[in-house]
Homo-oligomer: A and B are copies of this chain.
Amino acid sequence: MTQTEPDIKIRILLAAKRLFAQQGYDGTSCRQVCEAAGANIALISYHFGGKEGVYKAVVEHFFPIKELKSVNFADLDPIEGIRLLVSRIIQVTHRDRELSFIIQQEMLLRSPRRQTVMNVLVEVWSQVRSLLLRGKEEGVFTFDSSTNALVMVMGVALSHKHMVNFEDVFADEKIGVESIAAEAVRFILLGLGVKEA
């Protein structure tokens, strides 16, 4: 590797991340990825063993698992835990929009990549679920089905990625990630029955 250009493997992963996000896995060819990365097609086989290997490497290389596990949420008050965890999820998905588009796409499909994605996601979602269940036990959260509550919380936390679709249509002001996160946290806590969130 030279000093100025990133490593060729990283260049391939970056190009793949961008193209998978925009066009989907099946809508993107290895040729496209390598052209965008300034790399030769044969390098995909050599470095990653094939297209599926590139996908797996993208998810595992860029998913910020450390950042999402750096706090011990089991020690926190459920309200503060949800507040912190949801804020962090929004920050992370906003910073690397491409990766979260890729992950969301695969959650909607029955593909061989689903397991790769679920492996990294379960660790985060289990934490949210634990906080919800503990909050319900302590009487601060109100809901019937914990799975339903979990997906509703996730739906709000990930909803900001669809804003770009509507900024086209409704043409209003763009807002920063801090405002988005604050509004989402408030919406979620109120939705869970917390008074004065």
Contacts and interface: CB of A to CB of B under 8 A. Distances in A.
Interface of A: 22-27, 101, 104-105, 107-111, 118, 122, 125, 129, 143-152, 154-163, 165-167, 169-170, 172-173, 175, 179-180, 183-184, 186-188, 190-193
A162 B162 CA distance: 16
Contacts of A173: 145
Given A152-B159, A154-B162, A162-B155, A170 B191 contact: no
Contacts of A166: 125, 147, 150-151
Contacts of A26: 23-24, 26-27
Nearest to A172: B147
Given A129-B170, A144-B175, 13 more contacts: A24-B26, A24-B109, A26-B26, A104-B108, A143-B183, A145-B180, A148-B160, A148-B179, A152-B159, A152-B184, A155-B156, A188-B191, A190-B193
Given A104-B108, A108-B104, A190-B190, A147 B167 contact: yes
A125 B118 CA distance: 30
20 contacts: A23-B109, A24-B105, A24-B111, A101-B108, A105-B109, A107-B162, A108-B161, A118-B165, A125-B166, A144-B179, A145-B172, A146-B170, A148-B163, A148-B175, A152-B159, A155-B162, A187-B191, A188-B191, A190-B191, A190-B192
A162 to B, nearest CB: 5
Find the residue from A110, A159, A169 having the highest chain B CB count within 10 A: A159
Nearest to A194: B190
